[in-house]
Structure 1
Amino acid sequence: MHADLAGLTADPGVPKPDPLLVVDGVTRAFGGLVAVHVEHLEIQRGAITALIGPNGAGKSTLFNVLSGFDRADAGRWTFDGAPVTGRSAHRLARRGLVRTFQLTKTLGRLSVLENMKLAATGQRGERLVAGLLPPLWLGQERAIEQRADELLERFRLAHMRDEYAGTLSGGQRKLLEMARALMVRPTMVLLDEPMAGVNPALTQSLLSHITDLRDEGMTVCFVEHDMDVVMGISDWVVCMAEGEVVAEGPPRAVAQNPAVIDAYLGRHHDEPGTEYDDG
C-alpha cells in the first residue's frame, strides 16, 4: 500500500493526507435515471486507485464528468487545489488531468507518430499567423516529435512509428492511447478499463506501465472489472454501486466488505434462482 494511505479508516469519503482530486456532491442523471451521485471522494496524490463496481454502477460516467467529456447536473470538484468544475477536456489536459477510453480513440488513417503528435498541447504551428512562419514553430515541432519517439520506444511501439494507427492490434491501440496521454506530461491519468480486450501477454506489459507511472510520481485512477488486476497493482480501491460510493479502502479490505459483496452479487444472492454476473 502507498505509505500515505496506511492507517486510514476504510469508510466511503474518508479524507486523504494529500488528495489531488476532490469531488463533492457530483450528480449526473439521464432522464429519471441517476447515473452518478457521489457525495464526497478524494483521490490520493501519487497512488494507484482502482474504481470498481458492477456494470451500470456509474464508473465511466463519473470519469466522463471529471475529465470534461460530460457535464454534471450538480456538484463541484477540485484538481490540485484549484476549482475545475465544468472545465472542458482540453483545459483539464493543460492542467495535467488526462484520460483514456474503454474503446480506443485512435485516428486510423494517420500514422502512429501523427497520433502521438496530435496529443501535444499549445502547438504554436496551429495558430493562423504563426503557422505561416516556420521559424516560430519548427523548434517546438522537433521537441514534440522527440517526446513522441521516446514514448513509442518506452511502450514498444517504435517499430510501428510510421504505420497507420488503424493497422494496430487491440492491445497495441491500448498502448498507443496510454502513450499518447503522456504527451502532455500529466499529473494524473484516468484509465477506463485499460485491460479490456487485451491478450495476456500485453496485459502484463500494461500493468508494468501503470505501476511505472506511480513510481515516477504520477497519480493513476483506473476502472477495472478484473479483480486479480485490482488486487495486484492498486494502493486503494473505491467501489461504486447504483451511482454511489459504497465502500473504499485497501484492496483486501474492500474485497471482503459486505457492501461490495452485495453490490456485485445482490443483497439476496444466497437465495435460490439468483444469478451472478460479474460484468
Structure 2
Amino acid sequence: MRAELAKLSFEPGVAKPDPLLVVDGVTRAFGGLVAVHVEHLEIERGAITALIGPNGAGKSTLFNVVSGFDRADSGSWTFDGAPVTGRSAHRVARRGLVRTFQLTKTLSRLSVLENMLLAANGQRGERLGLALLPPVWLRQEREIKRRADELLDRFRLSRMRDEYAGTLSGGQRKLLEMARALMVRPTMVMLDEPMAGVNPALTQSLLSHITDLRDEGMTVCFVEHDMDVVMGISDWVVCMAEGEVVAEGPPHAVAKNPAVIDAYLGKQHDEPGTEPDHE
C-alpha cells in the first residue's frame, strides 16, 4: 500500500487510486471562526491515514462533520461512492463509517458486555412487535453476544466482561470503544486521538490493533499528535492548519514538508535575520 501511494504527487487534494471517502468544498464555521475549509480530500481504501496538525487546526471538527455528528455549512462528501452529506451519525454508521472520540463515550453504569451489545445494529428484538416473538430474535441475539465476546477477547477485555464500564482505566476504555465500533462490521473507522491518556503498555496494544485492522482490509483514519506513532504506522499523512489541508504525502515526505513545519512552528521560524527574543 505504501509503495502504491508513494507514486502519487504529494499535493493537497491529490487523487488516490481507490478512495473510500471523498470530501469536496466542506466548510464549518462557528460564529466568525472558520474551523474547517477543505477544498478536496480523498482517503484511500485499505490504508492507514493519519490526520495531523496543531491544536485548533480543524481535525476533530472535520471528523464530526463527515461522521454525521455535526453539520457542514457547505460542501459535500461521499463514502464508498454513495452520497452521505448531511446524514445523521447512525445512518452514516449503517453505511460502514464509524468513529471514536478523544473523550471516551462509554456508558459507565452498564457492563462492558452491555456496552458492546448496544452497538450492534439491526437488532430485531428492539422492535415492539417482534420483541413479543422470542423465536424471531433469540438466534440473532446469540450471534451478537458471540461476536461481542470474540471482540472482547481480541482486545483483552474478556476478564472485565461483566464489570461496570465505569471501573475501566482510561486505556481500557479506549480499547472498549474501539471494540464497540467494530460491532457494526464497519468498512472504515475514524479514531480521534486513540493514544491520548494511554499508558505505554496499552499504547503498543492499540497500535497493534490498528495495524491489524488495516491488514484485514479495513480503512483507518486517525487524529494523532504523537509523531512517533504517526511515522510508525501510517501509510499516508494529511496535515491541516487553520481549517485547511496544507500538505499530504507519505510519513517521511510530510515530516520534511515546509508547510507542515510552518504549521507547527510558525512561518517566521526559519526566516533569515529573525533574532530570538532574549528578554
TM-score (norm 2): 0.97
Match of 1:267 in 2: 267
Match of 2:185 in 1: 185
Unaligned runs of at least 5 residues, structure 2:
none
Cα distance in 1, alignment partners of residues 80 and 221 from structure 2: 15
Cα distance in 2, alignment partners of residues 164 and 130 from structure 1: 29
Cα distance in 2, alignment partners of residues 52 and 244 from structure 1: 11
Superposition pairs of residues 196-215 of structure 1, within 5 angstroms: 196-215=196-215
Does the residue aligned with 1:149 lie in a helix, a strand or coil? helix
Cα distance in 1, alignment partners of residues 277 and 56 from structure 2: 22
Cα distance in 1, alignment partners of residues 9 and 211 from structure 2: 24
Cα distance in 1, alignment partners of residues 135 and 4 from structure 2: 47
Cα distance in 2, alignment partners of residues 26 and 103 from structure 1: 25
Cα distance in 1, alignment partners of residues 132 and 177 from structure 2: 30
Unaligned runs of at least 5 residues, structure 1:
275-279
Match of 2:129 in 1: 129
Tell me the amino acid that sits aligned with residue 189 of structure 2.
V
Tell me the amino acid that sits aligned with residue 197 of structure 2.
G
Question: Per-residue deviation at 1:66?
Answer: 0.4
Superposition pairs of residues 230-269 of structure 1, within 5 angstroms: 230-269=230-269
Number of corresponding residues:
274
Match of 1:52 in 2: 52
**Runs of 4+ residues over 4 Å off in structure 1:** none
Quick check: 2:67–2:97 contact (8 Å CA) kept in 1?
A: yes
Match of 1:217 in 2: 217
Tell me the amino acid that sits aligned with residue 15 of structure 2.
P
Quick check: 2:2–2:250 contact (8 Å CA) kept in 1?
A: no
Match of 1:20 in 2: 20
> What's the CA shift string for 1:217-236, capped at 9, x where partnerless?
00000000000000000000
Q: Which range moves more in the overlay, 127-136 or 195-204?
A: 127-136
Give the share of equivalent positions with the same residue, in percent: 88
Match of 1:116 in 2: 116
Cα distance in 1, alignment partners of residues 186 and 5 from structure 2: 22
Cα distance in 2, alignment partners of residues 110 and 116 from structure 1: 10
Question: Per-residue deviation at 1:3?
Answer: 3.7
Does the residue aligned with 1:137 lie in a helix, a strand or coil? helix
Does the residue aligned with 1:238 lie in a helix, a strand or coil? strand
Q: Which range moves more in the overlay, 125-134 or 149-158?
A: 125-134
Cα distance in 2, alignment partners of residues 134 and 145 from structure 1: 16
> What's the CA shift string for 1:107-141, capped at 9, x where partnerless?
00000000000000011111111112111111110
Cα distance in 2, alignment partners of residues 86 and 183 from structure 1: 24
> What's the CA shift string for 1:26-70, capped at 9, x where partnerless?
000000000000000000000000000000000000000000000
Q: Does 1:72 align with 2:68?
A: no
Superposition pairs of residues 88-107 of structure 1, within 5 angstroms: 88-107=88-107
Match of 1:62 in 2: 62
Quick check: 2:6–2:249 contact (8 Å CA) kept in 1?
A: no
TM-score (norm 1): 0.97
Quick check: 2:188–2:218 contact (8 Å CA) kept in 1?
A: yes
Match of 2:228 in 1: 228
Aligned CA RMSD, in angstroms, stands at 1.0
